[in-house]
Structure 1
């Protein structure tokens, strides 16, 4: 009650000074959550979200997919429309719930499902999934124990990965760092404009190419021109470090 009272005073003061034309941005957010175990068998997950975080956790032996949805809003009644659907085994998560509204998703699914799609504003967290092809405009991408190829891109945010068994990894960001640890040797392409790149790889042979215009390079993995895997790492502003996992 005390915090709400302070919030009311702040809103009142803001209205007195600048008017209340943008009152929705000053009000404390409300939220409503629901949980649904899907009857359909899910073969892949697609992201099409605008505002809010997405988390997908794969679990070995699981047969059902469960979606926990949290809608945050500032004005009017709680949105009640459907924001995700299943078509042909593809679970699509949408972020369309109107203005002054965001949706967080927490999905528990069978391990190894491929994940694709885009998030405009929000973090993407994926664990124990299959092939990944995702992008975010503003938000981090975090990957754990991925067993398929990886394509991860964000404009403003970091790309991190651990326990990757991916064969091929592509990680790109404009403003942010790239930090990857491989569980199995793979071809890696990592690029950032402003940020560091840190990579840890298991023992194997690698063709190593690194370039930074403004930063240090610490490469502790031998460059083998005949290596089975390639490491292509570039940043304009930031350090590059490659270690053994």
Structure 2
């Protein structure tokens, strides 16, 4: 038996069992995972969400309470992963324990929130997705992408340590986006007043409605392309700063 075939079992084992979080996988293990749901009584207007090791989706709805749908798949140390979902005050905690010898340990939470709720969401090891939000939003990920669609709140603050940030039909007057290691792509549906974007390692692309803008760009290693109308007297400020990445600021909706 050659060394190539002797190594095969070890390679397969490495792709099946992980000593940290999720193992090698192909496809969506959560597609067939059972769904649990829970409703939390909520009387406030400010909601903080703390999550980890999961896919987090935020959905505004015509409701008063918080409704959560949960899917968990895989195993940890031979058992089903431990999962926590609890609302204490205005903080909703959604956590799944994937530490240890785990096989395809994953979780997905779909959180329906009242339309008037101001949301601050943090996912330390997973993605955040949101659509149709019309209030202020702060979204932070450690290792995961942020994806928004049709946002019309006044203030939007997005941060990802290791992940891409993407938004379509953004209509917020004030937008900040920061990614240490990932691309930022934002397409605006209305003229913003103030946009600040920073990426240490990643390209930045902004598509803005036609107007005049006061544009300030900085990059150490990258190409800068600006095709919007520029005016130093404009009240609409666009500031983009990258270390290693191209900057593109164009007209488009």
Which bracket does the TM-score occupy, shorter chain normalised?
A: 0.7 to 0.9
Equivalence for 1:182: 188
Give the counterpart of 2:122 among 118, 121, 145: 118
1:66 is matched with 67
Does the residue aligned with 1:121 lie in a helix, a strand or coil?
Answer: coil
Corresponding position of 1:164: 170
Q: Which residue, out of 208, 211, 224, partners 2:231?
A: 224
Q: Tell me the number of residue pairs that the alignment of Structure 1 and Structure 2 aligns.
A: 230
Q: Is the 8 A contact 2:50 2:91 kept in 1?
A: no
The structural deviation recorded for 1:104 is: 1.5
User: Is the contact between residue 141 and residue 157 of structure 1 (CA under 8 Å) also seen in structure 2?
Assistant: yes
| 1:32-64 deviations in Å (ceiling 9; x for gaps) | 4302344545634322222111001224x4455
Q: What corresponds to 1:13 in structure 2?
A: 9
- The 1:123/1:222 distance shift into structure 2, 3 A limit, reads same
Partner of 2:219: 212
How far apart in 2 are the matches of 1:17 and 1:93?
33
Which residue, 108, 112, 119 being the options, matches 2:112? 108
Instruction: Determine helix, strand or coil for the equivalent of 1:13.
Output: helix
CA distance, structure 1, for counterparts of residue 12 and residue 203 of structure 2: 46
| Structure 1 residues 77 and 207: alpha-carbon distance in aligned structure 2, compared to 1, 3 A threshold | same
Contact 2:81/2:96, CA 8 A, preserved across alignment? no
Equivalent in the alignment of 1:9: none
* Conserved 8 A contact 1:51-1:103: yes
Shift of 1:159: 0.7
Structure 1 runs of 4+ aligned residues shifted over 4 Å read 15-18, 21-32
Q: Which runs of 5+ in 1 are unaligned?
A: 1-11
Q: What TM-score, normalized by structure 1, do the two folds share?
A: 0.80
Distance of 1:236 and 1:23 partners within structure 2: 34
Tell me how far apart the structure 2 counterparts of residues 115 and 219 of structure 1 sit (CA, whole Å): 33
Q: Which runs of 5 or more residues in structure 2 are unaligned?
A: 1-7
User: Which residue of the other structure, out of 229, 240, 253, is the alignment partner of 1:233?
Assistant: 240
User: Compared with structure 1, are the counterparts of its residues 15 and 236 closer, same or farther at alpha carbon in structure 2 (3 Å cutoff)?
Assistant: closer
Q: What is the root-mean-square deviation of aligned Cα atoms in Å? A: 3.1
* Cα distance, 1:136–1:223 mapped onto 2, change above 3 Å: same
